[in-house]
Structure 1
Amino acid sequence: MHRLAPEKEASPLFLIYRRLFFHGRPLPPLLLLRRSFSPSPDHDPVPGILAALRRCATARGAKQVHARLVMACFPGENSLLFRLVELRDRAYASSLFSRLSRPDSFAFNVMIRGSATAWADYPAALDLHRRLLRSGERPDRYTFPFVLAAAGHLLWPLHGGAVHSSTFKSGHQSDAHTQHSLITMYARCGRILCARQVFDELLVRDSVSWNSLISGYSRLGLAGDAVEAFRRMTASGLEPDDMTLVSAAAACGDLGDLALGQRLEGLAAARGADLNSFLGCALVSMYGRCGDLDAARRVFDGMSSKHLITWNAMISGYSQNGLAREAIAVFKLMQEAGTEPNEVTMVTVLSACAAAGDVALGQWVDAVACERKLAGDVYVGTALVDMHAKCGNLCRAVQVFEGMRDRNVVSWNAMISALALHGRAGEALELFARMREARAARPNDITFVAVLTACVHAGLVAEGRRWFGEMAAAFGVAPQMEHYACMVDLLARAGRVEEAWEFMAAMPEKPDAVVLGALLAACRTCKNVLVGERVVRRLLELEPGNSGNYVISSKMYAGCRRWEESARIRGLMRERGVAKTPGCSWIQVAGQAHEFRSGDALHPDSVELHRVLLALFKEMKLHGYAPDPNLP
């Protein structure tokens, strides 16, 4: 067999063939091509050419083999088509397929598989399936799995159900691969009962069928069912593989089932699983969601090769558990490792920046997002709005919001909340009006918390009453405890303490500590001891260990010069062993965060700071400032 020539040394005959092929012109007679190429009449080059095709590692080599097949007068289009799909050369494979005068079921199956897997063009896969049926060819056990996969990815359950029906007509309803694909398709489309019905009808349940069911439950958020299916699988004597453990770990994270999660890691270690794969990432994510950050970091540090998803899982674990600085530290390690962040990374890091007040890093992420044109992305843009607003840069938050291409309800909520918390109540309510007029997103419960918060800060009692009343009537949003807390706070801050108490008493549920705390603060400000005493009794029953309740109660009595009651509350606090939580604040200077606690003199510049504060206090008094003893 002759060795394949490089492209630059291609024979004139091959160049003529290729030009005619791609221009759709009739090919020269194959006999002429055979005679022009064959070195001897007794030599059959076909076996060697097919062997060369199997060895091809590039699409360019496959094209050269194609020329050899034509010259050898061998109809090897199906073999070539199969190899081209494996090499992911869609253009050449599609061109070859379109020139088949009558493609058989094998050719259709190869193209359907390529469209549903290598090229991820799911509509094309379903279109090829329709063409197969119209051509008179019969689908077989190699057709259905990939057609069902395409329907599942497109979330087309009706199409998938029609394909399911056709499996009975063709007699392939009992094929194992088809059944597994049916379970996966129905689960992806949210038809878990249909998926379970297919599973229950299986005569033999192997690990693949169990994995399809467990993965389906986990993907739909049915974590309890996923864990139960996992336990039934192991009870049946089947050993879980990596895919089983990944799905089960996701379910454990949803449930917060740390004990089962630890068992999964033990099973992975017992079977010598490679934690550098998605399994390691799943364990990091599971431990993070269960709150065991030490275990998550142990698995993370033990991975020699870390994928972007793994970095995101570790950063997210810290961020979701309130450890913003640790999340930022891992992000910096990720940068040092040379891993490029994606949208998920940016959203998570921005959330950590907002929590830690890391303005410098937040601005850097903002710059990167703008450079990569991601600031207009609905998730990144919303995270930027939230971060800038919480770090005090409201102007930049508004700028990002107005520059977003698309906005969902979370985006609107973030901006309305930002304006409300910055005391820009009028602008918050105007933006709420824009949201209603745009009709791009329907207001939800969080939207109305933001709107009522704006009313609280501006003292707009009538406006607050209006929107509280219209929540359910006009928007179908049932008031929750947060909305009642806003209304109590609104009435109390307006000096209507008795009315706030009556409103709270009429609530369908018992008020929680947030509602009672808002009313107690108002009682102290308004010096309404009568209502305040009722609130104190309830609060100390609900939260006997919260020092803030004792402090505010004591100050309420002190503000009314009821010194004995004030001392009694302080004594009760000592008697119960409740320690006052010191106030804490921080500021970032030159990229470094400085934290201060009430009564803390541990800062290296503490003496100088106190000297400056004393000087400022004296200057304020010179300008007529008088301290208010009623402030917390």
Structure 2
Amino acid sequence: MYTRCGDLGSAWKVFDEIGEKDVVSWNVMISGCLKMGFAGQALELFRRMRSEGFELNGMTAASVLAACGEVGDLGLGQEVASLLEERGVEMNSFVWSALIDMYAKCGDLEEGRRIFDKLPRRDLPVWNAMITGYSQNGLSDETINLFNAMKEANVEPDKMTLVGVLAACGATGAIEIGRWVDEFALRSGLHQNVYVGTALIDMYAKCGNVSRAISIFGSMSNKNIVSWNAMISGFAFNGKGKEAIVLFNQLRNEEPTLRPNEVTFVGVLTACVHSGLVQEGRDWFRSMKPEFGIVPKIEHYSCMVDLLARAGHLEEAWNFVLHLPEKPDAIMLGALLCACRNYRNVEIGEKVMMKILKLEPSNSGNYVISSKIYARSKRWGDSARMRGLMRERGISKTPGCSWIVVDNQVHEFHASEGLWAISMEIHLILETLIYELSIEGYTPNIDLL
């Protein structure tokens, strides 16, 4: 009762007073620690349980594996998997899904997939564990392909499935699959689920369909701060900076129970970046701590450096880098390096090069951009030196990567790579896209090649 009510202290007191504990009492306490966010304590409790001679059962395993996933303890997770096999513990879908989820969260997706593939019968929790594992590890193609296999197996998705798939759709631009999920959510009554609704907003915004994202946002009766953040960021990434700021002010004025957080301000500052709102960006950044009690983090500084650099304020951007409370990251320095190339500023460009090549010595893009900064200033020797340094270190240029969806199947291909699978259809679609771009007056900017 105490663990369900969130009173862990009282639960511990009652647990310690139990004279003769059994597996059930251990399981309740382990599960309670996990549900209240104390995964480390749950694992310590499991070790104590084992040291006192108690054996785990399926319920113990499900909780402990979940805790291992939360803290990234692959070793203990593997130990639990071995114990399950040695003791002949009866496995159900919740234990299997917990095992797959643990491997996915600990980064061993190959082992998770091996377990998934060997199961003779897979129900919804097992499918969700594997789909979510792929999605959370950024393997969007695998997520979508497995989702299609799930549909073919006539297993109906739930809200957890949809959230994982929508994240993959947003990452790859697979809007047709996203639309199928949207229609399914409408039919199944999941549209009003705050997690599904928010995932739909995020997916449509990333795929460029801002109007549909706005429609879903407006129809949601229950929005949390993540929902507002998704819509603010959706406006931002589609160049609608003023709309993002208007929505942010609406959040402040109409939702007194919701407080803007660090992610909100990443969205607001990104809106300023993509719309060139330099002074607005400065003002919002300066207001974070005094007005909202939010200490700017590296992500917020990155936005400011990007904003100033894109607008040509390279000295001010570099000054931001020099006065950071922590070391600059590669994203921030990369944005400034690109701006130095675009504005032909070799002086600051060289300062950025020194930092970014130490931080990312194997990133081919940094060498290529540095070489072009010198070439644009006709410093051919320095340009050649950067290319030579790249060869000396055995670094090859990373090929460009694109995705295309044909018949609900995501195909990924790289520059200079043959399109062996259904190449005729893919070439046809690409030629159509190139033709439509030319009608709109688009011409490639070869200065950026």
TM-score (norm 1): 0.66
Match for residue 401 of structure 2 among 584, 589, 595: 584
SS at match of 1:588: strand
Shift of residue 559, structure 1, vs aligned partner: 1.3
Q: Output the CA distance in 1 between the equivalents of 2:160 and 2:28.
A: 26
Greater shift after overlay, 354-363 or 538-547? 354-363
- Is 1:398 aligned to 2:196, yes or no? no
Q: Which residue of 2 aligns with 1:108?
A: none
Q: Output the CA distance in 2 between the equivalents of 1:551 and 1:565.
A: 12
Q: Which residue of 2 aligns with 1:50?
A: none
Go from structure 1 to structure 2 and tell me whether the alpha carbon gap of 1:255 and 1:345 turns closer, same or farther (over 3 Å shift): same
Shift of residue 629, structure 1, vs aligned partner: 4.2
Q: Which residue of 2 aligns with 1:407?
A: 223
- Is 1:484 aligned to 2:301, yes or no? yes
Shift of residue 296, structure 1, vs aligned partner: 1.6
Q: Output the CA distance in 1 between the equivalents of 2:430 and 2:217.
A: 42
- Per-residue Cα deviation, 1:489-547 (whole angstroms, up to 9, x for no partner): 11111111011111221121121111111111111111111111111101111111111
Q: Output the CA distance in 2 between the equivalents of 1:574 and 1:195.
A: 62
Match for residue 460 of structure 1 among 277, 292, 305: 277
Q: Output the CA distance in 2 between the equivalents of 1:601 and 1:341.
A: 35
Shift of residue 253, structure 1, vs aligned partner: 0.7
Match for residue 355 of structure 1 among 171, 176, 185: 171
Match for residue 335 of structure 1 among 145, 151, 172: 151
SS at match of 1:188: coil
Shift of residue 210, structure 1, vs aligned partner: 2.0
Shift of residue 561, structure 1, vs aligned partner: 1.1
Q: Which residue of 2 aligns with 1:149?
A: none
- Is 1:276 aligned to 2:92, yes or no? yes
Shift of residue 599, structure 1, vs aligned partner: 2.6
Preserved CA contact (<8 Å) 1:276 1:304: no
Q: Which residue of 1 aligns with 2:194?
A: 378
- Per-residue Cα deviation, 1:386-419 (whole angstroms, up to 9, x for no partner): 1111122222111111111111111111111111
Go from structure 1 to structure 2 and tell me whether the alpha carbon gap of 1:423 and 1:611 turns closer, same or farther (over 3 Å shift): closer
Go from structure 1 to structure 2 and tell me whether the alpha carbon gap of 1:528 and 1:198 turns closer, same or farther (over 3 Å shift): same
Match for residue 515 of structure 1 among 332, 338, 344: 332
Paired AA for residue 235 in structure 2: L
State the superposition RMSD in angstroms: 2.6
Q: Output the CA distance in 2 between the equivalents of 1:299 and 1:237.
A: 29
Preserved CA contact (<8 Å) 2:404 2:426: no
Go from structure 1 to structure 2 and tell me whether the alpha carbon gap of 1:190 and 1:448 turns closer, same or farther (over 3 Å shift): same
Paired AA for residue 395 in structure 1: S
Shift of residue 608, structure 1, vs aligned partner: 6.4
Q: Which residue of 2 aligns with 1:100?
A: none
Match for residue 303 of structure 1 among 107, 119, 132: 119
Q: Output the CA distance in 1 between the equivalents of 2:354 and 2:58.
A: 55
Q: Which residue of 2 aligns with 1:549?
A: 366
Listed as ranges, the gaps of 5+ residues in structure 1 are 1-184
- Is 1:232 aligned to 2:56, yes or no? no
Preserved CA contact (<8 Å) 1:250 1:286: yes
Q: Output the CA distance in 1 between the equivalents of 2:117 and 2:200.
A: 30
Go from structure 1 to structure 2 and tell me whether the alpha carbon gap of 1:495 and 1:438 turns closer, same or farther (over 3 Å shift): same
Match for residue 525 of structure 1 among 342, 356, 362: 342
Preserved CA contact (<8 Å) 1:420 1:428: yes
Q: Which residue of 2 aligns with 1:445?
A: 262
Preserved CA contact (<8 Å) 1:249 1:282: yes
- Per-residue Cα deviation, 1:113-170 (whole angstroms, up to 9, x for no partner): xxxxxxxxxxxxxxxxxxxxxxxxxxxxxxxxxxxxxxxxxxxxxxxxxxxxxxxxxx
- Is 1:244 aligned to 2:95, yes or no? no
Shift of residue 627, structure 1, vs aligned partner: 5.6
Q: 1:194-213 alignment to 2 at 5 Å?
A: 194-213=10-29
Preserved CA contact (<8 Å) 2:370 2:386: yes
Q: Which residue of 1 aligns with 2:250?
A: 434
SS at match of 2:448: coil
- Is 1:193 aligned to 2:14, yes or no? no
Q: Output the CA distance in 2 between the equivalents of 1:434 and 1:535.
A: 39
Q: Output the CA distance in 1 between the equivalents of 2:180 and 2:427.
A: 31
Paired AA for residue 54 in structure 2: L
SS at match of 2:55: coil
Q: Output the CA distance in 2 between the equivalents of 1:341 and 1:592.
A: 18
TM-score (norm 2): 0.92
Shift of residue 617, structure 1, vs aligned partner: 12
SS at match of 1:240: coil
* Structure index of larger Rg: 1
Q: Which residue of 2 aligns with 1:118?
A: none
Shift of residue 383, structure 1, vs aligned partner: 0.8
Q: 1:14-413 alignment to 2 at 5 Å?
A: 185-413=1-229
Shift of residue 339, structure 1, vs aligned partner: 2.5
- Per-residue Cα deviation, 1:409-456 (whole angstroms, up to 9, x for no partner): 111111111111111111111111211111252211111111111111
